[in-house]
Amino acid sequence: MLRGRESDQRVIDALLDGARQGRSGVLVIRGEPGIGKTSLLAYAEERAHDMRVLRGIGVETEADIPYASLHLLLHRGLDRLDALPAPQAAALAGALGLAPTSGEERFQIGVAALSLLAELAEDGPLLCLIDDAHWLDQASARALRFAAHRLFAEGIVLLFGARDGFDPAGLSEHRLAGLDEESAARLLADTAPALTGPMRARIIDESAGNPLALLELPRTAGLRAYERDPLPLPERLQSVYAARIGELPQDAQRALLVAALVDGGELDLITATCAELGVEPAALGAAERSGLVRVAGTQVSFVHPLMRAAAFQHGTYDLRLGAHAILASLLPDRPNRRAWHLAAAATGPDEVAARALEEASERAKERGAFSSAAAALERAAALTADPELKGRRLISAAVTTLETDQPERAKQLIEAGAGLVPDAPTRATLPRLRAQIAFAQGAPHLAHDLLISGADEVAGEDRAAAGLMLVEAARNATLTSDIGKLVQATTRLRSLGLRPEDDLDLAARSAAATALLWTEGPAHAVPIMRTLVTDGSRQTGGVHASRRVNAVYFAHHTGDFQAARDMALAAADECRATGELRRLVRVHLGLAAAELHLGRFSEAAATATEGLLLIGEADKPNRAGCMEGMLAWIAAVQGDAGRCAELAASSLGRFEDNHIATGLAWSQWALALLDLVAGRFDDALGRLDAAMNGPVRHQIQSILFAPDQIEAAARLGLPADEPLRRFGDWADACGHDWAGAVLHRCRALLEPDAERAHQHFHTAVRLHAHGGGPWEAARTRLAFGERLRRDRHRTAARTHLRAALDAFERVGARPWAERARTELRAAGEAGPASAATDRLTALSPQEFQIVRLAAAGLTNRQIGTRLFLSPKTVSYHLYRAFPKLNVTSRAQLGGLDLA
């Protein structure tokens, strides 16, 4: 019976009751050692008598073995692996060592873990318990967090017990406090009834309500004699356990040490190791009777992790070395564990152990477990005697560490290895690595300088390496809008004399085209950009992925948003099929922007929202500002001022950290758009003028928001020659009808003569009819209707205002619709709202995604595979969406306008 945990138990009960009703729940139970996390997990298991239970645990000695903890959790459900989509099944089987690795990204393994848990929950509610989550290997932790974020309506409860070392990554947390004094006294009365008076009060005081301390401190020999110990409570408890271990027979102490060293607690491995050490089998029984370990079936487990730590530290150094060496010899078929035992048995440089760790690192990389791979390489370097080989391993460890978003640690490894590597090819990589670290730490200008100087150093020996550094310098300069540095990089690229076999032609042309846009103007840049779009759109297959993503980028720069969307959708489908999370994040940036410019705001919001979640899981925080900026822009259009301000502030904060100007551009535009529709024309113009005085002036958004600058200026009766020239040059170079239409609208807004203004508007309306999306067309119709009403052409004005109102309602632009409705009333006609449109905009971004795919004929399972959700969660969202859309079946979805 748990004392003083009634409120905590109610939290667990609510989660379990929810699972019985088909709802999923995830909770991280956090607290100090001994506070009762394991006891609460045991309570959950006891209460889940009608549920299937899977158990996992983080093991300190397995923290560098990829997917060790995930295997512990899922191994009893692997008979259902064949029910998963083939790519997921292959990825998970490879990660768990059941099949050759397929080279899939780690992302796919998280998807597979989610699918397997959902498949197991088809038989009834499922409880997953992961204790000591702070010791999960990082690959397992990533996969489990990925699945946890997507649990919703499967009837699954996922409980983590963790100390403060565990990163919950946004999962719900429940912190355990110490027991109150009354509960502590009741627990002591149950377990140490003979303890009374001052000693009882002292233990209650010193335990700080920690249940484990209340159980263990009374067992301490000579309790009356000891002084108050300055050690933290966990260390004090560990010393109590060490004293208990010291009272056991020597063989029992050795058996406990072996149990502490054996990953997973396999009884056969423990007994075999004990036999090699000359320890009698009965010794393990004595250890069990001491209450420090449990033996159940084929597993040996410590009653508490502090006991395991005490057993390890109590063992002598030579005994630990011998046990590790024996374990390494007993694990020839488990090379990862063997490698770490070899390393632990080494007393100095040991090339056998170092090579085994290097091989373990390669296997970890193939499974996407970069944290484990980096740890293995770092340890391998520590065991390497040859200086040059040691240096190469340190550099390799640094490269791998960069994949884990730990730039400071990568920097330390590079500096440790740089002086040991004499060969030119390896040394040529160091400036790039240092630049990547500088960029990750928010110093892009330093990164640029490192790349330029590095390219100068190696150009004579390795032209391709120099070219790659200059290409990266150009990309950095583009992101930070430093056109001087961009020109510097592209000029050096041209003079480098690259050859076709260097495979840098695409990157060099891309950098040159971007530089031309901001130095010579759109007329010079757009033709080159069009060829890049054409080249990229023809590419298929994984090896050409970068060309397609590049083509999406330049399709935006040439105003061909439909082509950008088509290419991005195809690339996204491929990424989802192969589990390439990092590329999917980049594709989402281009896809969300294309959908936004085409007036598909619901789709853009859904894409950007999913992209934000993926960014965290892909360790690409620098891209979050751009997603937040686009979501702020959509919120501005939809009239959600609070959400717009919140997202814009977050995006602007990221710019302060990383100096990447793309998110800054979207955020400043979003806030200006909010001002514009609210009639705060001075504020709108001031924001956009200020943006043009900063790094945003060299981002494509500076061209695309020029029409808003022009409208704000026109409303204030001010000239707008510069933004008109800026947008006009670009629209003329691109040649798209929609851009020409917007240019005519801008000229009409600035035109004082009514007849000439009406001619511009008529031309704009005609060009909009050729395509380009409803948003800009509605803006033109609204502006034309307003001008016609002021010029006393009320009947003609109503025609355009009705069209604008309908379009704004369809895309969910509520404040713009209200503005059109107000103008329509002023023109003598009331404008009713569209109920169908209101229903559609009531959907959440995820509901919209699911409804759109269901309307296209995809099954729940197919939708789940595409969106990384379980079929039950898809079903739940459809159930929620149907009433909002006033439909009762999937068949009716086909009749809705979801464009």
Report the candidate in 44, 30, 28, 38 with the shortest Cα–Cα distance to residue 172.
28
Say whether 175 sits in a helix, a strand or coil: strand
Q: What is the CATH number of domain 845-895?
A: 1.10.10.10
Q: What tens digit of pLDDT does each residue of 227-282 get?
A: 444 445 677 777 778 888 988 999 999 999 999 998 678 899 999 999 999 998 88
**Measured distance CA(194)–CA(179) in Å, rounded:** 21
Which secondary-structure segment (H or E) carries 295?
Answer: strand 293-296
Which secondary-structure segment (H or E) carries 301?
Answer: strand 299-302
- Amino acid letter, 627: M
Report the candidate in 242, 261, 252 with the shortest Cα–Cα distance to residue 320.
261
Report the candidate in 292, 284, 250 with the shortest Cα–Cα distance to residue 268.
284
Pick the CATH number of 6-175 from 3.90.1150.10, 3.40.50.300, 3.90.180.10, 3.30.420.280: 3.40.50.300
**Measured distance CA(109)–CA(73) in Å, rounded:** 14
**Measured distance CA(575)–CA(715) in Å, rounded:** 46
> Beta strands 52-57 and 293-296: pairing type?
unpaired
Which secondary-structure segment (H or E) carries 179?
Answer: none
pLDDT for the residue numbered 782: 97
Q: What tens digit of pLDDT does each residue of 640-652 get?
A: 999 999 999 999 9
User: Is the separation of the CB atoms in 151 and 158 below 8 Å?
Assistant: yes
Which secondary-structure segment (H or E) carries 633?
Answer: helix 624-637
User: Is the separation of the CB atoms in 384 and 349 below 8 Å?
Assistant: yes
Q: What residues have CB less than 8 Å from 422, skipping those under 6 apart?
A: 388
- Amino acid letter, 272: A
**Measured distance CA(314)–CA(876) in Å, rounded:** 54
Tokens of 15: 């989660």
Low-confidence ranges of the chain (pLDDT < 70): 1, 102-106, 220-233, 263, 539-545, 618-620, 830-841, 898-899
Report the candidate in 602, 572, 875, 561 with the shortest Cα–Cα distance to residue 734.
561
pTM equals 0.84
**Measured distance CA(473)–CA(465) in Å, rounded:** 12
Q: What residues have CB less than 8 Å from 7, skipping those under 6 apart?
A: none
| Residue at token pair 């990660």 | 95
Burial of 222 (0-12, 13-18, 19+ CB in 10 A): exposed
Q: With left for phi above 0 and alpha for psi between -120 and 50, is residue 857 left, alpha or beta?
A: left
Q: Where are the domains of the chain?
A: 6-175, 181-228, 239-314, 316-422, 845-895
Q: Residues in the chain, how many?
A: 899
Q: What residues have CB less than 8 Å from 762, skipping those under 6 apart?
A: none
Q: What residues have CB less than 8 Å from 316, skipping those under 6 apart?
A: none
pLDDT for the residue numbered 103: 58
**Measured distance CA(673)–CA(596) in Å, rounded:** 14
User: Is the separation of the CB atoms in 35 and 211 below 8 Å?
Assistant: yes
Report the candidate in 159, 161, 139, 136 with the shortest Cα–Cα distance to residue 304.
161
pLDDT for the residue numbered 824: 92
pLDDT for the residue numbered 225: 37
